[in-house]
């Protein structure tokens, strides 16, 4: 009856309205200037000034087309394009039974292959962004929900994860970490076609988003944080599909998709970040180079300005001064606070950092900006310890299965904070903010967020969600909590937050780094490798498609490099990355190399040359970073220049840094020449502007160990001329 009433009421309806709106983060959208809803005998057609959505009534099919040309962008499969799982069955949408036009779209009742009724809604949020919501029949009894899309074999798919590819094997005894993180293969590129991708954050290479972009000019995201699986032509070469688990809340029992039309990647990112949150851009000083060491030694002191301080910090400061290396950002990495792994109290561990305030003042006098390390873990069983207080307040994550995760040992008990509890987040943020403000620390390197998270359906968190619902959201909430702490400490915005893990929405609160990259295999215990640097080059461009525009990596690899080529080439690469940070496990100092000679004059010169160059490039980087607020990455895959050029569609070993620099890093040990592909246009050698090349062209260049190939686009000013260096 209801279906017949709707049909009678809407026969021959032609609806034209102009409306405004807001994105999910409250930012005013560029609302569709005109949306039409047309009901035809066989189709429902919803059109904006840029995109046309066509829904075939029977058999159900949903298609997106470019309005002016009619070009097909993507469409569901003709059989069960939207589907759900219930028990062993996987029913899908079969037909449209009724349509209710709305001001910016339409709501349709649909019949499924099990003879039950669900709904599909189409709504334009802007002229280029469409929300599609599928609610299955009896949603509370479903276990999964997904979609299938037709895809021609030449369609390239970008995004989803920073990780190069999912490992089928997790490390024995370390269930969270894929084996390929510590033994990287020579595999993976920008194009994800042919892969199956798990949407379940795993450490330590951990930036994920259920969002991909296509070489056909569109992007597609899935709202929410439920775990899922993407099949990008792995099972059927002409089908892209994904399925997500369903949860206990209504929003986790439906499929909410967002379609973004460019056709340029930058336009897709602008639309995507308008909806999910504009990326965080740190203060200018964060683009200087960073120096840090993993696990500063305890009990070893040396003199700095006549006072005994941590020996490693003193060594760095004095060597920098002696060698003419500029001061930048100094990161005090873990464990520098009190208690088990530095998690017990927001107070310096003065056994590890004697005369700590003198040390901090000495660093500031020399021009260093200070950053420290954090994670949402709370340790200690004594009154006054964070772990003790969190237990008393009921702020601990569910531990029914995991007991005391990570570091329950002789130094005290450790727990994961329940960040789903607003009171717990406020408690932690206020304690951390007071410490940051009192100690003059303007930045946080935020670790973890994806390790040992209670993630099963019977792990019930403070907000009532289960572990499957919380797992991917934990990093978002942990990041937001630390951003709030920094904003409390420094309300003028003079702070930086850098995280190793990320998910949709966390780009608004932090920049990211690459996690525990490999300079050697097996947690640094195995042979050296150059594949960690290869991975980093690709990772930087992977996150470019995900709305995380500013990225850095542990130069030399977190796990100690064992070949000087790897360190040199990584320094050069990091100079042309969003964040240049040098440090990791073991020695990452050219005056104390893990290779021979230990005091390495050639490496010292490379280190000095490129840290100085980095500082000279800061004005150029800062100018480019202004575009990052709309999602435009600092490091841009070359396909951003021309998505139709097959030479660029999967070319990962070159990229644009900012709008005008073409960078061609070297990653192989022993390599001393490489080919550069010049895209269409004119390119000048960064190091010698008399050398000019016209693209498209391929040219092979020598690349001695102290050189990275960089070229300036067209007639753009040389970046060092902008900095007053030329």
- Write the pLDDT tens digit of every residue in 553-575: 999 999 999 999 999 999 999 99
Q: Exposed e or buried b for every residue in 571-592, given b needs 16+ CB within 10 A?
A: bbbbbbbbbbbbbbbbbbbbbe
Burial level of 456, CB count in 10 A (0-12/13-18/19+)? middle
Measured between alpha carbons, how far is 204 from 518 in angstroms, rounded to an integer? 11
Here the tokens at position 659 are 């709008």
Tell me the C-alpha distance between 718 and 22, whole Å: 40
Please tell me the predicted confidence (pLDDT) of residue 501: 97
Please report, for residues 115, 199, 224, 471, the alpha-carbon distance to residue 468 in angstroms, rounded to integers and kept in the order given.
30, 12, 12, 6
Hey, what domains does the chain have and what are their CATH numbers?
Answer: 284-376+423-452+486-633 (3.20.20.80), 636-722 (2.60.40.1180)
> Which H or E run contains 317?
helix 311-323
Across 420-489, the runs of DSSP E, i.e. the strands, are 443-446
β-pair partners for 240: 149, 232
Which of 242, 213, 72 is CA-nearest to residue 147?
242
Strands 635-637 and 655-657: antiparallel
- Shortest CA distance to 112 belongs to which of 131, 97, 93, 128? 93
Which secondary structure element, helix H or strand E, spans residue 625, and what is its range? Answer: helix 601-625
Centre a 10 Å sphere on the Cβ of residue 1 and count the other Cβ atoms it contains. 5
pTM of the model: 0.94
Which tokens is 514 given? Answer: 């690459």
pLDDT of residue 724: 56
CA dist 181 to 171, 231, 445, 558, Å?
9, 21, 20, 11
Q: Which residues of the chain have pLDDT under 70?
A: 1-31, 33, 400-414, 722-726
What pLDDT digit, counting tens, does each position of 659-712 carry? Answer: 999 999 999 999 999 999 999 999 999 999 999 999 999 999 999 999 999 999
Q: Which residue has the tokens 């779209």?
A: 105
Report, in angstroms and rounded to the nearest whole number, the Rg of the chain calculated over CA atoms. 27
> 324 near 604, Cβ under 8 Å?
no
Pinpoint the alpha helices (H) of 366-415. 386-393
Strand partners, 231: 196, 241
Residue with tokens 């004005």: 619
- Contact (Cβ atoms closer than 8 angstroms) between residue 507 and residue 279: yes
Give the per-residue pLDDT at 410.
34
Q: What is the pLDDT of residue 27?
A: 57
Cα separation, 109 vs 6, in Å, equals: 11
> d(Cα 357, Cα 344) in Å, to the nearest integer?
20
Judged by phi (left if over 0) then psi (alpha if -120 to 50, else beta), residue 115 lies in left
Closest CA relative to residue 210, chosen from 546, 480, 471: 546
Strand blocks (E) in 162-313: 196-199, 206-214, 218-222, 228-232, 239-245, 255-261, 289-293, 301-304, 307-310
Q: Alpha helices, DSSP H only, in 555-600? A: 564-575
Report the pLDDT value the prediction gives residue 5, as an integer from 0 to 100: 37
Whole-Å CA distances, 603 to 83, 581, 608, 610, 668: 57, 16, 8, 11, 17
Q: What single string gives the DSSP state of each residue in 40-70? A: -SSEEEEE-SSEEEEEETTTTEEEEEETTT-
pLDDT at residue 106 in the model: 98
pLDDT of residue 725: 54
**Helix or strand run (H / E) with residue 700:** strand 692-702
């Amino acid at each position: 009856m209801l279906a017949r009433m709707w049909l009678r009421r809407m026969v021959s309806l032609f609806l034209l309205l102009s409306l405004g709106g807001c994105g999910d983060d409250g930012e005013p959208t560029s609302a569709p200037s005109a949306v039409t809803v047309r009901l035809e005998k066989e189709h429902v057609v919803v059109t904006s000034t840029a995109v046309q959505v066509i829904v075939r009534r029977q058999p159900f099919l949903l298609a997106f087309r470019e309005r002016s040309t009619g070009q097909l962008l993507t469409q569901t499969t003709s059989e069960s394009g939207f589907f759900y799982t219930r028990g062993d069955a996987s029913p899908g949408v079969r037909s449209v039974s009724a349509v209710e036009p709305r001001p910016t779209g339409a709501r349709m009742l649909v019949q499924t292959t099990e003879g039950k009724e669900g709904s599909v809604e189409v709504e334009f949020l802007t002229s280029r962004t469409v929300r599609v919501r599928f609610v299955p029949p009896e949603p509370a009894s479903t276990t999964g929900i997904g979609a299938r899309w037709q895809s021609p074999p030449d369609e390239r798919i970008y995004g989803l994860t920073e990780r190069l590819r999912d490992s089928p094997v997790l490390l024995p005894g370390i269930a969270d970490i894929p084996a390929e993180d510590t033994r990287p293969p020579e595999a993976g590129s920008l194009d994800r076609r042919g892969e199956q991708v798990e949407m379940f954050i795993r450490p330590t290479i951990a930036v994920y988003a259920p969002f991909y972009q296509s070489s056909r000019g569109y992007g597609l995201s899935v709202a929410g944080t439920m775990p899922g699986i993407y099949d990008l032509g792995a099972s059927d070469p002409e089908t892209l599909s994904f399925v997500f688990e369903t949860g206990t809340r209504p929003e986790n029992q439906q499929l909410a998709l967002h379609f973004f039309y460019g056709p340029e990647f930058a336009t897709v990112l602008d639309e995507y970040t308008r909806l999910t949150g504009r990326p965080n851009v740190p203060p200018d000083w964060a683009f200087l180079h960073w120096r840090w060491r993993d696990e500063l030694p305890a009990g070893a002191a040396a003199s700095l300005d006549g006072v005994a301080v941590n020996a490693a910090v003193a060594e760095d400061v004095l060597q920098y001064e002696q060698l003419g290396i500029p001061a930048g950002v100094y990161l005090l990495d873990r464990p520098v606070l009190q208690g088990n792994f530095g998690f017990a109290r927001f107070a310096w561990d003065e056994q590890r950092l004697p005369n700590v305030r003198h040390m901090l003042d000495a660093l500031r006098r020399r021009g260093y900006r200070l950053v420290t390390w954090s994670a949402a873990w709370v340790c200690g069983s004594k009154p006054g310890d964070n772990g003790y207080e969190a237990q008393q307040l009921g702020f601990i994550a569910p531990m029914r299965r995991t007991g005391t995760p990570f570091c329950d040992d002789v130094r005290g008990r450790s727990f994961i904070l329940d960040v789903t509890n607003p009171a717990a987040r406020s408690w932690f943020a206020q304690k951390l903010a007071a410490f940051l403000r009192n100690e003059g620390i303007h930045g946080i390197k935020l670790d973890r967020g994806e390790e040992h998270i209670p993630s099963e359906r019977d792990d019930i968190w403070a907000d009532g969600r289960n572990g499957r619902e919380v797992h991917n959201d934990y990093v978002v909430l942990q990041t937001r909590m630390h951003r709030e702490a920094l904003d409390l400490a420094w309300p003028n915005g003079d702070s930086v937050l850098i995280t190793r893990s990320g998910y949709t929405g966390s780009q608004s609160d932090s920049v990211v780094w690459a996690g525990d990259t490999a300079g050697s295999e097996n947690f640094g215990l195995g042979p050296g490798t150059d594949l960690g640097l290869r991975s980093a080059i690709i990772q930087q461009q992977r996150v470019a498609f995900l709305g995380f525009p500013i990225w850095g990596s542990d130069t030399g690899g977190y796990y100690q490099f064992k070949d000087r080529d790897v360190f040199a080439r990584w320094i050069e690469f990091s100079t042309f990355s969003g964040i240049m940070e040098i440090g990791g496990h073991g020695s990452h100092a050219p005056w104390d190399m893990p290779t021979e000679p230990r005091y390495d004059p050639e490496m010292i010169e490379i280190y000095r040359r490129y840290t100085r160059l980095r500082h000279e490039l800061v004005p150029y980087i800062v100018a480019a970073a202004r575009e990052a607020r709309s999602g435009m990455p600092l490091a841009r895959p070359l396909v951003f220049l021309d998505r139709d050029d097959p030479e660029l569609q999967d070319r990962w070993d070159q990229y644009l840094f900012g709008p005008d620099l073409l960078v061609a890093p070297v990653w192989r040990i022993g390599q001393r020449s490489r080919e550069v592909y010049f895209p269409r246009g004119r390119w000048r050698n960064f190091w010698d502007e008399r050398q000019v090349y016209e693209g498209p062209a391929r040219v092979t260049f020598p690349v001695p160990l102290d050189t990275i190939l960089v070229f300036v686009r067209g007639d753009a000013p040389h970046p060092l001329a902008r900095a007053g260096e030329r």
